[in-house]
């Protein structure tokens, strides 16, 4: 087993299982960039380990339809398009829709809880688990080397909105059969007790809408069908229509409605154009953008760049959790909406969202039921993995049988014993526009410097025979607070440094550029305490 993403982070979940030269992939998601990764669209798992072995991949199993578990599939299928994909009906509907945008036709096979499928020498059994999206599945992988249970994302809501419980009877049966390795969701392992019930959110949303006199905007993930259902029910209870806003929200809810996961009459909805012309106390806007994404609906409202104009007396409900790393962006959106006069309701001041992940109390139940021989916490930042491992030890799993890993670490399961035996190269794969994997950390460093420190270019014409400056230096700056005349002080320094280089016989263009870069870099650091990007251009004649 090799995790290629999802260890030490919330996102880009992907684990490969290899047996007798054949590879099974479980999940292939994306991670959304943070502020220190400017220009990046999404971050993928590192496919490097698979790139030369794509013919050995026998299948991709998707546990559920969230972006951090399925968003990377189109990029993986670019390497080989005919890999069979296994998942629940809703999960596959979401991924097929996504693949159409990439002009990829996939081989898919719908599976359901209780079903067993044989892929090469991997014997898979699918188990119902409860999550914040319908149709989530855990997968038990039986092999000649042992058995592995991968939970995907899950919790143990005892009164779920769709009536679909996490199948603890199946967990009990697996425990009695004997489980060699448990890969367990760690996201809420450091949260004591039990995750609150989803059903408690609906009345809160309905109450907020009933007290709102103006327009109401509710923002959530475009895949959170349960939350959208609650908003639809609350809108109907208050004699309001629902307008879906955001391309992914419209697309996903159309899929959910067609498959019967979203239950609402067609007349419940109104398109955005008509909604804007309606009295605003008769409509609820259900939108994306709850994570403060710059181009998403809420951010555009804050910047007054959207058809929906937020004003005094309006209500905005952020009905989702904060993904780690998005805090600053979300708080900026909240501040912007408040400044426009809106009443902003969020998880911090009202019970408008509950997590989709099991808290510590639920995880303890799982460990006691399954009695796994080995445990490998997955899906979480490092503190979550440690907390999950500690829970396993409290239930009797020996500390040496709890494997805290990192992306790329290789875990061998032999005769019921799991050990970390090595590592493969595993980094971050950046998607930037149409390019995949070409952006490096050095590129991102350059972008951060440009954003924070500015840009200075220096142009010189050098006599190839003498090495002395024939024209220049001409200096121009961008995003540098000082006026161009401040560089008058450094020009004599550059001329002196170039004369000394010429006296030493330096004629190589690159070497002369480095002389200029060092000279102006030292000066600007001392004189202005700045470290801008410096681009010297030297032409010889």
What CATH number corresponds to the domain at position 463?
3.10.20.580
Instruction: Specify if 505 maps to a domain.
Output: yes
Question: Is the pLDDT assigned to residue 375 strictly greater than 90?
Answer: yes
- pLDDT (average), residues 38-58: 88
Residues 62 and 185 in one domain: yes
Residues 97 and 172 in one domain: yes
Question: Is the pLDDT assigned to residue 130 strictly greater than 70?
Answer: yes
Residues 474 and 508 in one domain: yes
Residues 40 and 125 in one domain: yes
Q: Rg of the chain over CA atoms, in angstroms?
A: 28
68 labelled binding-site residue: yes
Specify the CATH number for the domain of residue 259.
3.40.50.10710
pLDDT of residue 427: 87
As a whole number of angstroms, the distance between CA 263 and CA 236 comes to: 12
As a whole number of angstroms, the distance between CA 475 and CA 488 comes to: 9
Q: Is 398 exposed, middle or buried (0-12, 13-18, 19+ CB in 10 A)?
A: exposed
Question: Is the pLDDT assigned to residue 344 strictly greater than 70?
Answer: yes
pLDDT, tens digit, 9 for 90 and up, residues 141-171: 999 999 999 999 999 999 999 999 999 999 9
Helix (H, G, I), strand (E, B) or coil at 160: coil
Question: Is the pLDDT assigned to residue 463 strictly greater than 80?
Answer: no
485 labelled binding-site residue: no
* CB of 175 closer than 8 Å to CB of 370: yes
pLDDT of residue 242: 95
69 labelled binding-site residue: yes
Instruction: Specify if 446 maps to a domain.
Output: no
Last residue of a domain, one of 345, 374, 399: 345
Last residue of a domain, one of 277, 312, 345: 345
Q: Cα separations (Å) of 519 from 348, 446, 487, 505, 536? A: 52, 20, 12, 18, 11
Tell me the percentage of the chain whose pLDDT exceeds 90.
Answer: 61
Instruction: Specify if 367 maps to a domain.
Output: yes
Which pLDDT band holds residue 447 (cuts at 50, 70, 90)?
Answer: low
pLDDT of residue 366: 96
pLDDT of residue 455: 77
Question: Is the pLDDT assigned to residue 450 strictly greater than 70?
Answer: no
Question: Is the pLDDT assigned to residue 354 strictly greater than 80?
Answer: yes
Instruction: Specify if 79 maps to a domain.
Output: yes
64 labelled binding-site residue: yes
* CB of 527 closer than 8 Å to CB of 541: no
356 labelled binding-site residue: yes
Question: Is the pLDDT assigned to residue 498 strictly greater than 90?
Answer: no
pLDDT, tens digit, 9 for 90 and up, residues 94-119: 999 999 988 999 899 999 999 999 99
Average pLDDT, the chain: 89
Give the active site residue among 150, 226, 346, 357: 357
As a whole number of angstroms, the distance between CA 180 and CA 414 comes to: 9
Instruction: Specify if 422 maps to a domain.
Output: yes
Residues 396 and 526 in one domain: no
346 labelled binding-site residue: no
- Helices 168-177 and 360-370, interaxial angle, to 10°? 40
pLDDT of residue 324: 65
Residues 104 and 163 in one domain: yes
As a whole number of angstroms, the distance between CA 63 and CA 87 comes to: 6
pLDDT of residue 451: 64
pLDDT of residue 185: 96
Output the pTM of the full model: 0.82
Q: Which residue has the higher pLDDT, 404 or 324?
A: 404
Instruction: Specify if 447 maps to a domain.
Output: no
Among residues 141, 110, 108, 114, the alpha carbon closest in space to that of 126 is found at 114
As a whole number of angstroms, the distance between CA 333 and CA 322 comes to: 13
Q: Which residue segment(s) compose the domain that 309 sits in?
A: 198-345
Task: Name which of 128-132, 220-224, 379-383 the model is least confident about.
Answer: 220-224
Task: Name which of 65-79, 198-212, 502-516 the model is least confident about.
Answer: 502-516
Which pLDDT band holds residue 186 (cuts at 50, 70, 90)?
Answer: very high
Which pLDDT band holds residue 349 (cuts at 50, 70, 90)?
Answer: confident
Last residue of a domain, one of 320, 345, 370: 345
Instruction: Specify if 169 maps to a domain.
Output: yes
335 labelled binding-site residue: no
Residues 31 and 161 in one domain: yes
- Say if residue 442 is preceded by a cis peptide, omega within 30 of 0: no
Residues 507 and 365 in one domain: no
Among residues 385, 387, 390, 389, the alpha carbon closest in space to that of 407 is found at 385
Instruction: Specify if 535 maps to a domain.
Output: yes
pLDDT of residue 35: 65
150 labelled binding-site residue: no
Map tokens 């047996």 to a residue.
Answer: 19
For the chain, what is the domain count?
Answer: 3
- pLDDT (average), residues 297-305: 85
pLDDT of residue 72: 94
Residues 151 and 281 in one domain: no
Pairing of strands 533-540, 455-462: parallel
Tell me the longest C-alpha to C-alpha distance in the chain.
86
Question: Is the pLDDT assigned to residue 323 strictly greater than 80?
Answer: no
Give the active site residue among 157, 180, 185, 314: 185
Question: Is the pLDDT assigned to residue 481 strictly greater than 60?
Answer: no
Residues 145 and 292 in one domain: no
pLDDT of residue 452: 65
Residues 111 and 158 in one domain: yes
pLDDT of residue 325: 65
Residues 188 and 204 in one domain: no
Assess whether 185 carries a catalytic annotation.
yes
pLDDT, tens digit, 9 for 90 and up, residues 269-299: 999 999 998 998 899 999 987 776 766 788 8
All residues at 6 or more sequence positions from 442 whose CB lies less than 8 Å from its CB, including other chains: none
87 labelled binding-site residue: no
pLDDT, tens digit, 9 for 90 and up, residues 511-530: 888 888 888 888 888 877 77
Tell me the percentage of the chain whose pLDDT exceeds 70.
Answer: 94
39 labelled binding-site residue: yes
pLDDT, tens digit, 9 for 90 and up, residues 229-239: 999 999 999 99
């Amino acid at each position: 087993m090799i995790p290629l993403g999802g260890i030490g982070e919330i996102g880009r979940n992907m684990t490969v299982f290899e047996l007798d030269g054949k590879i099974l992939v479980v999940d292939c998601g994306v991670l959304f960039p943070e502020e220190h990764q400017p220009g990046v669209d999404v971050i993928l798992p590192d496919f490097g380990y698979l790139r030369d072995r794509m013919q050995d991949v026998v299948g991709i199993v998707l546990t559920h339809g969230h972006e951090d578990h399925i968003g990377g599939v189109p990029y993986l299928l670019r390497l080989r398009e005919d890999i069979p994909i296994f998942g629940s009906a809703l999960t596959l509907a979401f991924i097929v829709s996504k693949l159409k945008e990439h002009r990829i036709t996939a081989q898919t096979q719908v599976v359901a809880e209780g079903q067993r499928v044989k892929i090469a020498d991997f014997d898979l059994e699918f188990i119902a688990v409860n999550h914040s999206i319908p149709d989530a599945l855990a997968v038990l992988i039986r092999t000649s080397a042992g058995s592995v249970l991968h939970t995907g994302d899950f919790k143990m809501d005892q009164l779920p909105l769709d009536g679909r419980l996490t199948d603890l009877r199946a967990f009990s049966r697996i425990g009695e059969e004997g489980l060699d390795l448990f890969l367990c969701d760690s996201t809420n392992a450091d949260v004591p007790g039990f995750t609150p019930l989803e059903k408690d959110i609906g009345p809160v949303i309905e109450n907020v809408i009933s007290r709102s006199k103006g327009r109401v905007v509710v923002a959530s993930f475009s895949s959170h069908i349960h939350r959208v259902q609650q908003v639809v029910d609350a809108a109907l209870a208050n004699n309001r229509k629902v307008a879906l806003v955001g391309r992914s929200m419209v697309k996903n809810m159309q899929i959910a409605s067609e498959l019967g996961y979203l239950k609402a009459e067609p007349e419940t909805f109104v398109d955005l154009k008509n909604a804007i012309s309606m009295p605003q106390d008769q409509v609820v806007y259900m939108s994306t953008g709850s994570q403060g994404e710059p181009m998403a609906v809420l951010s555009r409202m804050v910047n007054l760049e959207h058809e929906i104009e937020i004003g005094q007396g309006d209500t905005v409900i952020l009905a989702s959790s904060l993904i780690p790393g998005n805090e600053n962006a979300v708080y900026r959106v909240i501040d912007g909406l408040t400044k426009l006069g809106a009443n902003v309701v969020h998880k911090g001041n009202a019970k408008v969202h509950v997590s989709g992940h099991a808290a510590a109390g639920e995880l303890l139940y799982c460990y006691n039921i399954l009695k796994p021989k080995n445990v490998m916490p997955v899906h979480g930042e490092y503190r979550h993995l440690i907390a999950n491992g500690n829970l396993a030890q409290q239930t009797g799993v020996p500390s040496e049988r709890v494997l805290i890993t990192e992306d790329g670490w290789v875990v061998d399961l032999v005769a019921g014993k799991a050990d970390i035996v090595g590592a493969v190269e595993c980094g971050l794969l950046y998607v930037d526009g149409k390019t995949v994997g070409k952006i490096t950390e050095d590129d991102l460093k350059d972008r951060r410097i440009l954003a924070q420190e500015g840009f200075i270019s220096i142009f010189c014409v050098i006599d190839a025979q003498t090495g002395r400056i024939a024209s220049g230096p001409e200096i121009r700056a961008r995003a540098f607070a000082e006026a161009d005349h401040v560089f008058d002080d450094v020009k004599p320094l550059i001329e002196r440094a170039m004369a000394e280089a010429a006296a030493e016989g330096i004629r190589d263009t690159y070497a002369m550029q480095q002389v200029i870069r060092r000279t102006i870099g030292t000066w600007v650091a001392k004189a202005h305490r700045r470290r801008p990007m410096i681009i010297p251009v030297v032409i010889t004649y």
